Structure 1
Amino acid sequence: MFRFLCSRQLLPLKHRRTHLGFLQQNGFFIVKSFTSVGRLPESNQNPEEEEKHSFAVSYLINSCGLPAKSAILASQRVLFQSPERPDSVLNLFKENGFSNDQISHIVRKHPPVLLSDPEKTLLPKIELLRSIGVSSSELITILSSNPFLFKSNLKKRLIPCYDFLKSVLLVDEKVLKTFKRSPRSFLCDETNTMAPNIALLRQLGAPPSTISFLVTNYPPAAFTKHAKFVEVVHQVMEMGFDPTKTVFVLAIQVLLKMSKPKLESKLEFYKRWGWSKDMALAAFKRFPNCMQSSEEKITKTMDFLVNKIGWPSANIATYPSVINLSLEKRIIPRCSVVQILLAKVLVKNNLALGTFLRPTERIFLEQFVIRFQDDVPELLNVYQDKMSSGCRISV
């Protein structure tokens, strides 16, 4: 709990101006001069306004825990000369589990929150989030990191956004998933962005499942300005993607982040590893995210698979999702196991990359390690030694 020595009675103005800094010692905030921190901004304020400014700075320091510099900046956005309303706001936060540091962060990012009506303005927003399933700990974390939610109008922005998301996603669980991925989804202009974007997808034949996948997994893509969204959707359609498939959504979210020149540059880069443009485009259609990998990541992965392991480059184009896999935690350990099995002729020499790189950890261990333990007892040790994380695996 914040504790402070200064009285809530205002000090004479001439004294308060030299007592705005503080340091925390033995649990108390000690008032001190902050000539090295800065001065109150010069202004033509009348004495009453100056008193409000000084009181606000002192309160922000002593009751909200803001550093002097931050308090001075915050006081330019909020002025008050009585502690009643700010105290009620701080009490609401504390009653709902916010720590002093979290409260300080909220006030620093959004000082006007101190003048909000706790019961009529703040609490209803908290209750709305709880109603869709946001847990207490999640609520505290989300609101502390995104205090701009407190300044959004409940009836004109938050509730309409929630209602629209619910109409598209049908269940609160998916609305909650969307909100967690992008809290700003509750601030979107659903009338001019999300609604026409979703209407376009429906017009093209995208099923509810595909639309739901876009909104819940890539909210910023769904909330893109409509003109840009239309442009990218048409580009994806021209490339031959099927709107009924999930990969259609993946292509949209990738191209929303990439300019056409950037995409062309990445296609050219894959040529260095033996892919023709048609092969690269085919790989993009199988797994659009392969175009988001950095050139450094592509180089390291292809160098290992092609030059060190000897896998044909064309085979990798058939399973482009392996480009995005961790080289240290998946590709190298699993390839090391498979190389031993190939050398001992325990697996076919035409084994496809996807059969051992894409499966889950449990399935890989069952099919390529446990299955051959009697024939190659050292397989598990080889696999564990190659794992960069150093985690030991029980089988």
Structure 2
Amino acid sequence: MGFQGAHIARVVSTFPNLLTYRANVTLAPKLEFFRRELGLTDAQIRRAVLASPYRVLSYSLEGCLRRNHLLLRELLGSDKNVTAAVLQSTELIHGDIRGILLPKVKALRDHGATDDVIVKLVMTHPKALMHRLSPFEESLVAMEELGIRPCSRMFPYSFGLFARLHPRRWKRRMDNYLSLGWTKEQVTEAFVRHPYCMSVSNDKVRRIWQFVTKRLGWSLEYVVASPVLLSLSYEKRIVPRCMVLNLLASRGLFHGKIKMAHMCMGKMKFVDRYVTRYQEEIPEVLEAYSAGRASAAAV
């Protein structure tokens, strides 16, 4: 599995009872289970063990790990889906699937969630369903109040994010948007469109907001309509692309205004269209792209 001496020392210091286990009888079969049956790579297994040695290595292989694996495969439909879900939270493989997860799955179905929605939710936000302290019922009510139906494709992301955010953290995020001139209705609209706008740090939101409103002249309504902007990298995407487009505009090769589409365009497509295409004619375009990343990171 590639465990180094420092790794082993860290695991033993966290879980000293591990030294009482028989390596070939107890430990090796569990590690092979993660590799062969769950399909995890050695690097993924190392990360899981180092993150929580007790939880990963102490539970019974037959009485817990394999039992949960079978339940998850039945629920998620394929080994590939099970692997993806476990990578999000190893609690799925050692936790109380029958007592915690399955009752919530039933409640979701009772509220109209489809199998596809449930599979996506478990694969992307399993902690929202497995943590006992996760506000499951409150999150269902909140989704209903926001008009996000359990059968909609955005439900797994909206519900999963909301259920994992502590109410105080949600309030801080909301207050930050309100301080920038947004209304509560606009924040809600943005969340419905792109739930992860509420997981972006307050500092990042403010930095991007100030840039696009002061430098690009974008309106509040324009940003609310495409809140995915707030999840993009300020240093690696927004500033460098603006520097490239401004340079091209100064040479008469780019006309019109910088738009949201320029920010959301895939990296290769943007580089091919606005950097590589003009690199021989305007060598500075590559420098502008690189300088933009450096200057943004330094701010």
Please indicate the TM-score interval, normalised by the length of the shorter structure. Answer: 0.7 to 0.9
Map Cα deviations across residues 321-376 of structure 1 (whole Å, 9 max, x no partner). 111222111110112223344556655635531x1111221011123334555775
Measured against aligned partners, the alpha-carbon deviations of 1:286-325 in whole angstroms (never above 9, x if no partner) come to 1111122222111111111112332223211221111122
Structure 1: which amino acid aligns with 2:6?
D
1:250 has 2:157 as partner: yes
* Counterpart among 269, 273, 290 of residue 363 in structure 1: 269
Q: Measure how far apart 1:239 and its partner are.
A: 0.4
- CA 1:204 to 1:302, structure 2 compared with 1: closer, same or farther past 3 Å? same
Name the count of aligned residue pairs.
294
Measured in 1, the distance between the counterparts of 2:109 and 2:149 equals: 13
Rounded Cα–Cα distance in structure 1 between residues aligned with 2:250 and 2:97 = 58
Residue 23 of structure 1 is matched in structure 2 by none
Once residues 317 and 342 of structure 1 are traced to their aligned partners in structure 2, the CA distance between those partners, rounded to angstroms, is 27
Q: Mind listing any 5+ residue stretches in structure 1 that lack a counterpart?
A: 1-95, 391-395
TM-score by length of 2: 0.85
| 1:101 to 2:6 alignment | yes
Query: Aligned residues: percent identity?
Result: 26
- CA separation in 1, counterparts of 2:250 and 2:218? 15
Could you say which residue in structure 1 is the equivalent of 2:145?
238
SS in 2 for 1:369: helix
Which residue of structure 2 aligns with residue 8 of structure 1?
A: none
Q: Tell me how far apart the structure 1 counterparts of residues 134 and 233 of structure 2 sit (CA, whole Å).
A: 36
Following superposition, which runs of at least 4 residues in structure 1 exceed 6 angstroms of deviation? none
Distance 1:122 1:348, change over 3 A: same
> CA offsets, 1:73-108, max 9 Å, x none?
xxxxxxxxxxxxxxxxxxxxxxx6543333322222
Residue in 1 that maps onto 2:294: 388
Following the alignment from structure 1 to structure 2, what is the Cα–Cα distance between the partners of residues 242 and 226? 23
**Alignment partner, residue 216 of structure 1:** 123
Q: Match for 2:274: what amino acid?
A: F
How far, CA to CA, are the matches of 1:313 and 1:378 in structure 2? 33
TM-score (norm 1): 0.66
Q: Secondary structure at the match of 2:64?
A: helix
What's the Cα RMSD here?
A: 2.8
Report whether the alignment pairs 1:112 with 2:8.
no
1:193 aligns with 2:111: no
Q: Identify the match of residue 286 of structure 1 among 177, 185, 193.
A: 193
Matched, 1:302 2:209: yes
Task: Please tell me whether the aligned partners of residues 273 and 313 of structure 1 are also in contact (alpha carbons under 8 angstroms).
Answer: no
Q: Which has the larger radius of gyration?
A: 1
Distance verdict in 2 for CA 1:322–1:384, change over 3 Å: same
Alignment of 1:128 with 2:62, yes or no, is no
1:23-82 deviation per Cα after TM superposition (whole angstroms, max 9, x unaligned): xxxxxxxxxxxxxxxxxxxxxxxxxxxxxxxxxxxxxxxxxxxxxxxxxxxxxxxxxxxx
Shift of 1:232: 0.6
Q: Which amino acid aligns with 1:362?
A: M
- Larger fraction in helix: 2
* Structure 2 residue 62 is matched with structure 1 residue 152: no
1:276 paired residue number: 183
- What residue number does 1:205 align with? 112
Correspondences of 1:26-37 after superposition (within 5 Å): none
**Larger deviation: 192-201 or 377-386?**
377-386
Structure 1 residues 30-45: aligned runs within 5 Å: none
* More deviation, 326-335/155-164: 155-164
Q: 2:240, 2:289 within 8 Å by CA — same for their partners in 1?
A: yes
User: 8 Å contact 2:112–2:151 — kept in the other structure?
Assistant: yes
Q: Sort the Cα spacing of 1:242 and 1:359 in 2 relative to 1 into closer, same or farther, 3 A.
A: farther
C-alpha deviations, 1:200-258, integer Å up to 9, x for none?
A: 22333333333222222222113133872122122112201132334212211222233
Q: Give distance in 1, aligned partners of 2:276 and 2:51.
A: 45
Query: Structure 1 residues 275, 97: CA separation in 2 closer, same or farther (over 3 Å shift)?
Result: closer
Of 162, 166, 174, the residue aligned with 2:81 is 174
User: C-alpha offsets along residues 106-145 of structure 1, whole Å, 9 cap, x if unaligned?
Assistant: 2222222222233443233122212222234433443344
Name whichever of 374-383 and 301-310 sits farther off: 374-383
TM-aligned CA deviation for residue 183 of structure 1: 2.2
